[in-house]
Amino acid sequence: MQKESPNAESSGNVAKFEPYIKASQSIPETTKQAIILGVIISVVFGVANAYLGLKVGMTISASIPAAVISMAILRGVMKRGTVLENNIVQTIGSTGESLAAGIIFTIPAFFIWNETIEGFFHPISQWQIIGLSLLGGTLGILFMIPLRKYLVEREHGKLRFPEGTACAEIIVAGDEGGGKAKMVFTGIGLGAAYKFVMSALRMWTEGPHQNLYWQDESGKILGYRGGHLGIDATPALLGVGYIIGPKIASLMFGGAVLGYLAISPLLSYIGSFIPEAIIPPADMPLSQLDPGELRNFYIKYLGVGAVAFGGFVSLAKSVPVIFHSFAVGARQILGKREGRGEIPRTDRDLPMSTVLIGSLIVVFLIWIFPGTELHFMGALLSVIFGFFFVVVAARIVGIVGSSSSPVSGMTIATLLVTCLILLAFGVRGTSGMITAMSVGTVVCIAVCLSGDIAQDLKTGYLLGATPRQQQLTEFIGLLFPALVMGATIFLLNDAFGFVQDATHPEPLQAPQANVMATVVRGVMTGDLPWITIIVGMMLAAAIELVGISSLPFAIGLYLPLSLSTPIIAGGIISALVKKTSSGAVQKKRQEKGILFGSGLVAGDALVGVLVAGVIVGSTSYRAFYESHEALPLVGTFGPWLSLIAFTGLCLFFWRMTRADKK
């Protein structure tokens, strides 16, 4: 696809690079069909990733599935569609997933505070979520535009942009689009059907679990006290495990094993000798806490400390990149355009005047934005941190890809510094918490969008797209998911909640938002359980000292064990695919698995959102859904049926990865 000399990358000479579509060629690019299809994909994957991210703390990239679906519909069904049209579809389609990530990391904190802080009642509205989404997303897109020429073009060969390059390869391989699309749609159909039968009809238990201890007739505790096993046997988590691969899945599972099969039993054992509560925030003796309560009072805060430390380590490892990228970004914005004469089509960006004027308008709108306590200081902090971390994120995704970008660490750093600045100016309490989280929301969304557009612009550079067209359509891809994301968050909160209580016995975990809410509240009010958090930080530090990335481990420690169990199952399938094949066959099988797994995630998540809508809209169905006497419909055999069904799904997944050796 890339028509350049083999030594072009190593020599830094990019003059010989020729995109797939030359600058002199003029073919359809931003068409009505491409925009409509891109918007639909953006909304669908945005909503699906919002549900998935709130459930497990991870989102999946929509770029590759969007590219495959585009090839299937435009070329397979409509018998039309150019390479550049397909590129526009994936450019728009991938934006919803990035916006969802920025929102779910931060916005649920407002709901969590409403439920957990007595006297705190400052609900965020759907319109405010839409406004923050548009403001943060617009900042991320605008700040990235001046960096394109350097990061995407001049650093070609040095910055790989893994997802962007993969999308370009898929789009070029247009004749394979139909077969690849079949994998995605098969995954969507199976994931949706499985989720519907399991969760909507409640035919079997979604999450079978078992304590590893019991009481005899005399009341004596036997077995592995405090130990607990479980599995959230859903297609989405199986797909996530395959996509992230065996290494990351194993690190997550390792954190969960340490927390729930080692630390929790240890606390329970120690508590059997101590009749009083020993560490806040629990007000009951350890011996009286079941595994779920041990998690809520202790393991969760260990996870908060570990996630915070892991995020900072990921950020610290990028310090050289941060300073270099910041300096280059400043030069790009303040410098003049190089060269004279007519600008080639493949080098036309939105003008710098548009970037500057647009940025000033966004700053003003942040300043006057109602209900989030942003005002002038919040607007200033949003722009400063936004620009700084947009530069950082755009560079990092070029090196390691979007999935490894330390967005959580950047957001936590933003929140901590913002809280300290606000405290120094006398802003504290509820007002300070709202201001800090609003700043963090704008910055987090901007960072997520900048990583997405960086990957999209790399795809366009390889294919020969017009950068200006991609940059304009990014705003379209931002607008439509933003309009539905607020309603989606409210719907999921009404149906499942983000905090465990009598109304929501099985809430969505919202791990990143819980960490953000805990950090901001603790700094602003001074009531963080620091001992437990510091111990969690030391656990993550120990993992780093033995040469292992601590962030996936920390997320596993924070999340319940039942969420890591199906993820490791997907990771095992991925490892088996790699172990039992090699070369081109292995690449083909891995690709089939990623496409099928992406479909499982999308199908599962979309039905999950649909079920949430029915729960909210139908009182009778909600009563049926929450009636434990009626669950599962097959009676006590439900947990075993769940395990059998999930095992069958794993075997079918393995079968779907098999590719013809020819």
Which of 89-103, 269-283, 532-546 has the lowest average pLDDT?
Answer: 269-283
Instruction: Dig out the tokens for 552 from the structure.
Output: 């996936």
Q: Which residues contact 340 (CB under 8 A, 6 or more apart)?
A: none
- Residue 149 CA neighbour count, 13 Å, CB half: 20
- Of 219 and 305, the one with more pLDDT: 305
Q: Calculate mean pLDDT across residues 182-192.
A: 84
Contacts of 500 (CB under 8 A, 6+ apart): 296, 506, 507
Q: How confident is the model at residue 5 (pLDDT cuts 50, 70, 90)?
A: very low
The confidence score (pLDDT) of residue 497 equals: 85
* Nearest CA-CA partner of 23 in 404, 303, 347, 417: 347
Q: How far apart are CA 465 and CA 77, in angstroms?
A: 23
Q: Which residues neighbour 10 within 8 Å (Cβ) at sequence distance 6 or greater?
A: 157
Average pLDDT on 269-281 reads 74
Give yes or no for residue 355 having a pLDDT over 80: yes
Q: So where are the chain's domains?
A: 28-181+352-495
Specify the pLDDT at position 322: 54
Confidence of residue 130 (pLDDT cuts 50, 70, 90): very high
Statement: residue 517 has pLDDT above 70? yes
The helix (H) or strand (E) run that includes residue 224 is strand 221-230
Unique residue bearing structure tokens 């355009």: 337
The pLDDT score that the predictor gives to residue 402 is: 65
Task: Answer yes or no: are the C-beta atoms of 440 and 146 closer than 8 Å.
Answer: no
Residue with tokens 């359509």, as numbered in its chain: 473
Give pTM, 2 decimals. 0.72
What string of H, E and C letters represents the secondary structure of 623-643? HHHHCHHHCCCCHHHHHHHHH
pLDDT of residue 280: 62
Residues ≥6 apart with Cβ < 8 Å to 572: 241, 246, 249
**531: closest CA among 279, 314, 162, 161?**
279
Phi, psi angles (nearest 5°) of residue 599:
-65, -40
Across the chain, which distance is largest between two alpha carbons, in Å?
91
The alpha-carbon radius of gyration of the chain (Å, integer) is 25
Token pair 């190593």 is found at 10
- The per-residue pLDDT for 3 is 45
> DSSP secondary-structure letter at 296?
I
pLDDT-wise least confident of 13-27, 96-110, 209-223, 321-335: 321-335
Residue 361 has pLDDT above 80, yes or no: yes
What pLDDT score was predicted for residue 605? 73
CA distance 288 to 433: 33
Residue 51 banded pLDDT, cuts 50, 70, 90: confident
Which range has the worst mean pLDDT, 217-231, 459-473, 582-596? Answer: 217-231
Phi first, then psi, for residue 229 (nearest 5°) are: -120, 145
Which structure tokens are listed for 131? 């406004």
Measure the CA–CA gap between 100 and 452, rounded to whole angstroms.
Answer: 12
b/e map 503-531, b = 16+ CB within 10 Å: ebeebbbbbbbbbbbbbbbbbbeeebbee
Q: Taking all residues of the chain, what is their mean pLDDT, rounded to a whole number? A: 80
Whether pLDDT at 333 is above 60: no
Q: Is residue 290 classed as helix, strand or coil in its secondary structure?
A: coil
Task: Report DSSP letters for 70-137, one per residue.
Answer: HIIIIIIISS---HHHHHHHHHHHTHHHHHHHHHHTTTHHHHHHHHHSTT---PPPHHHHHHHHHHHH
Q: Read off the tokens for 80.
A: 């039309």
pLDDT of residue 329: 53
Q: Which residues of 336-353 are buried (b: 16+ CB within 10 A; e: fewer)?
A: eeeeeeeeebbbebbebe
CB 387 within 8 A of CB 45: no
Residue for token pair 């194993």: 250
Pick the closest to residue 142 from 445, 399, 462 (CA basis). 445
Residue 339 is given by DSSP the state: -
